[in-house]
Amino acid sequence: MLGAKVGETAPAFALNCVSARDPDPWLVRLSDYSGRWLTLMFYPRDFTFVCPTELTAFSARQADFGKRNCELVAVSVDSIALHQEWLSTAPADGGLGPLQFPLASDPDGATARAYGVWVDEKEVSTRGLFIIDPNGVLQYAVVHNLNVGRNPDEVLRVLDALQTGGLCPASWTSAAGTIDPERALRQGTILGHYRIRAKLGSGTFGTVFAAWDLRLERMVALKILKRSIRESREAALTEARAAAKLNHPHVCTVYAVEEEDGLPMIAMEFVDGQPLSRTIAEGLRRDSALRFASQIASGLAAAHAQGVIHGDLKPANVIVSEQGIAKILDFGLAISQRTSVSSDMSVGERQVSTAPPDVWQTADGVEATVEYSGSSPEKPTGIRGSLAYMSPEQARGLPATSVSDVFSFGLTLVEMLTGARALREESPVKLLVRLQTEDLGSELANQVDEPFRELLPAMLAQDPVQRPPMTEVAGRLASIQALWDSRQTTQF
């Protein structure tokens, strides 16, 4: 069994070596190759039959390895003196001649043992070959029988494949393309320890699948992030890790943030149900709207207590289970709260800011999640979220805060109570202008029943400092629900 394992840090070594160019011994270490690839070859003995054929074959391809930023080092149990003799002996007399890479001496077999290629019975190493990446991580390992030499063409093929960073099928060559795992995902595909069952949906940043966790034997929702949006992907992964610390009955639990086959993914609790947006479209009863609103508010309050902000709350990001439980999904734009809300967020920022038109060309229009970064070193800005549900400060390119979630929840609450989207503009620019310039609270409050007319103007205040915290919103909704329940009981 190999002592060195692929995917782990390669065992360090420090060995004396010589070369045809420099016959005086020097010390070679694994750390000397930091930032470069290294092909480390073990062979049994100098002055043997098979060894010179493979070492000279690799030497003839030294330039090809060099083009790939890869160095070669060969190691045997032989002494430095024997290496020097072998290098100075003509090939016709059993020597190597001008070898293009160094030969290292491992007289006690310590390095061979560390790499798992030492043969105690013969006190030599087998023909182990290891490719180590520029970070010192072992990426390839193969061991040949002592009677069979290695082929430099195959090693170069593997090196090319490793350097693509992609998935390379059997018989792959540098002229062929790699497998695109995003397109290859389908029912039955196994990704890491997850087996894809069905596609649940797709959005701006990725695609969500129902998958079976082979390790823990449970269903999960697996969100595969698109590789083409690297900056957004890294942000989403960082923020998902922040959201993973949340544990609340009305927040979809994040189980793991992983990467498999080059695909970043987030494994989440699987909730068998449908989006709140569909529930609203089918017709939402008042008692159900009150119950779901209280559940969503309590989940957001718990997230805010942990310093986590959603940043993209909307009916499509809430799922209603078959048991009638609302759970907040997709903290993909969530951020850990680092700044407090101040009135400066609304003062002096009255100019209308818009993103380039192509940002808004999405299939779902103003309800789709978008991200546009217009940052500069002097003033970091960017629009992140869904236009039809974002807060005024987000529409101005400022970061979302906990009270930004309050505003988004206010718009969601109006939709739950009326059955129609609160802001019905389909033009992104008109919607941005309205969010940044109008005080929407009073207008939208007139569309709902009396118990909510006092709460909504505060939630939808243009100035974020005037909005109540989510804990207060949750408390007031709980009171409204209790009053509603008591009235229904009295009427019954």
Catalytically active residues, by annotation = 51
Distance of CA 94 to the CA centre of its chain: 54
DSSP 179: B
Query: What is the CA angle 457-460-463, rounded to 5?
Result: 105
Give the integer Cα–Cα distance in Å for 211 and 376: 41
Q: What share of the chain is helix, strand, coil (3-state, %, to 5)?
A: 35, 25, 40
Give the integer Cα–Cα distance in Å for 201 and 218: 20
Residue pair 437/353 in contact (Cβ under 8 Å)? The answer is no
Length of the chain counted residue by residue: 492
335-339: which pairs have CB atoms within 8 A and are 24 or more residues apart? 335/239, 335/242, 335/308, 335/309, 335/311, 335/399, 335/400, 336/239, 336/242, 336/307, 336/308, 336/309, 337/304, 337/307, 337/308, 337/309, 337/401, 337/402, 339/399, 339/401
DSSP 24: S
DSSP 172: -
List b or e across 87-120, with b for residues whose CB sees 16 or more CB atoms inside 10 angstroms: bebeeeeebbbebbbbbbbbeebebbebbbbbee
